[in-house]
Structure 1
């Protein structure tokens, strides 16, 4: 059977971004940026993106495109005889499985919250009341497992439709919704009281906070965020790279 490919470059970019954009970028990044000195932390983070993140990302794309295989088989195809590069696949498979376990659980929470909002379960509750709802969810493994199973079955359904009709088409729509939601949240945030002070705390360079927490801690936080931002190290980008045509420049992607 002929292997499917993405119908457009935009589809490939949005799917790759969808793999990377998650809690680490939407919630954790602003938090640690404010904590570690605002723009001074962002500068260190951008250096790691360019010096470490970009080369490793291109390398993963290259492995995927050269092998035209998943992370489980790519090095079996590419490794020179007698070398042990194929052992990488065990870490990649374990990393992707753990990541799937995490995100299917969190997606199950979101599905439950969507249901609670639809039936008015949060009406009249303050922040503590909403927190209690989450606490009761965590103490109910049956409800959590049920929501997670729905998410897993939905994802299997998307994959069953194929690359173009399933993964690409649905991801395009969901990423458009995500970007619109983030734009709405950003506009709402800057209209809140004392937003100017918040933006200054978040973006103003403050190297005293870098020294306060220690350069080593800040550097490791920036490095970890750079790897998390691009979903590096677990073979996820190699999977997408296996769908990149030979006529396309990897750095351009």
Structure 2
């Protein structure tokens, strides 16, 4: 292990960085909608079950590979694999996945930043429902504006990484995550004080097993599996990098549980903001960007002190987006540092150029490149990149981590357990080997095939 490698200064920094990587916009605009559709609390129970049996083992494996090698995924397989093995080939696929993720996420984060400015400046004050809707369409269809906000996000993210691991990435993420949680609790308090708010809470969290069955038990289970799998950003080394930055004082299973708990807490709290607000103003809680950029701005527009609450909401959303971007940027920066022995400064400067140029197609995907519709009417470059990352690289990458950590022709079960259980805390259960080795891969393949089927049938 390289003695000069930077380390995180605290356990809290590790948990916040890992949670920041996991807490993304999907927690806010997809999770509440899916929960409401499939029976509220009934779906949450199914989701938590799959989060534990699906997400937890894979996140612990990523941590173990990172901590065991002391490197990012760019070099971790090189170090841990046996002579003449080829596991390290996946390193380049994981690197590609991180680049592709940033190349569409920076566009969405750019919109978030633009909407924070719009809301704070009072641009929506007095606007009609149609005008609010048109504001989002105008932003999407303005290539210069989309590229400007995207570049600003890249510069912010890379600027934080350039400050260093402890002084930049860890310090700023701690502050940002603390503020995210604080602002979120303020918004929850406001939402719960609205008229008819409790109807929204009942709809959202009270278990309704009839509704779960009415919308299709199989569909609900698949939705729960997919949400549990994708919410943690596993399969591309995003968690391995933070494993490489921590010591062996604490077991990795306990750390994984803490990160999952924080990720789930934010997702559930997001619903306690959205459903009471939508119910109070008689608006459907849609899924996707329309919820954040059209539905909620309209609600803030008619709410008392709506500009203040809308501004706070977009502060919350920007922190959720930036926490993911900073975590993925740190992974990308560490790739070139580990792979080419570059300095942090050199890696940041080169990646600023790569990320800006690579993100332009997505930023202009709704304007200059609007004719490119890979999944049919209404789809764009963003949908293609999201599909490649979420439905292809992440599931296949998760399979690589599972096989590498459980098979004798990989790192092996014994080495994995030894690394995962080093330190104090919750041990990884040894008697789960059969499930982890054989059943878990089947579940991941099932998610992979259904994800492909759902997308390809739209073409």
Give the TM interval when normalised to the shorter protein: over 0.9
Q: Which residue of 1 aligns with 2:154?
A: 152
Relative to structure 2, which stretch is displaced further, 47-56 or 58-67? 47-56
Q: Which residue of 2 aligns with 1:4?
A: 6
Q: Which runs of 5+ in 1 are unaligned?
A: none
Q: Which residue of 2 aligns with 1:232?
A: 234
Relative to structure 2, which stretch is displaced further, 59-68 or 24-33? 24-33
Q: Cα gap change, 1:213/1:83 in structure 2, threshold over 3 Å: closer, same or farther? A: farther
Deviation at 1:244, TM superposition (A): 1.6
Q: Which residue of 2 aligns with 1:66?
A: 68
Deviation at 1:209, TM superposition (A): 2.0
Show the 5 A alignment for 1:108-147. Answer: 108-147=110-149
Relative to structure 2, which stretch is displaced further, 68-77 or 157-166? 68-77
**Cα deviation digits, residues 36-71 of structure 1 (max 9, x gap):** 111111111111111121111111100000111112
Distance 2:8 2:229 in 1: 25
Q: Which residue of 2 aligns with 1:220?
A: 222
Show the 5 A alignment for 1:46-85. Answer: 46-85=48-87
Q: Which residue of 1 aligns with 2:108?
A: 106
| Higher RCO, 1 vs 2 (CA within 8 Å, ≥6 residues apart) | 1
**Cα deviation digits, residues 21-40 of structure 1 (max 9, x gap):** 11121221111111011111
Deviation at 1:88, TM superposition (A): 2.2
Deviation at 1:117, TM superposition (A): 2.9
Alignment: residue pair count: 253
Q: Cα gap change, 1:195/1:238 in structure 2, threshold over 3 Å: closer, same or farther? A: same
Q: Which residue of 2 aligns with 1:36?
A: 38
Distance 1:71 1:130 in 2: 43
**Cα deviation digits, residues 85-118 of structure 1 (max 9, x gap):** 2232233222212221222111111221222234
Distance 2:60 2:199 in 1: 39
Query: SS of 1:236's equivalent?
Result: coil
Deviation at 1:177, TM superposition (A): 1.4
Distance 2:204 2:237 in 1: 32
Q: Which residue of 2 aligns with 1:96?
A: 98
Instruction: Please give the TM-score of this superposition, normalised by the length of structure 1.
Output: 0.94
Q: Cα gap change, 1:83/1:217 in structure 2, threshold over 3 Å: closer, same or farther? A: farther
Deviation at 1:12, TM superposition (A): 0.9
Query: SS of 1:230's equivalent?
Result: coil
Distance 1:83 1:224 in 2: 31
Q: Which runs of 5+ in 2 are unaligned?
A: 256-459
| Alignment counterpart, residue 200 of structure 1, candidates 196, 199, 202 | 202
Query: SS of 1:157's equivalent?
Result: helix
Distance 1:128 1:192 in 2: 24
Deviation at 1:182, TM superposition (A): 1.2
Q: Which residue of 2 aligns with 1:166?
A: 168
Instruction: Please give the TM-score of this superposition, normalised by the length of structure 2.
Output: 0.53
RMSD (Å), alpha carbons? 1.6
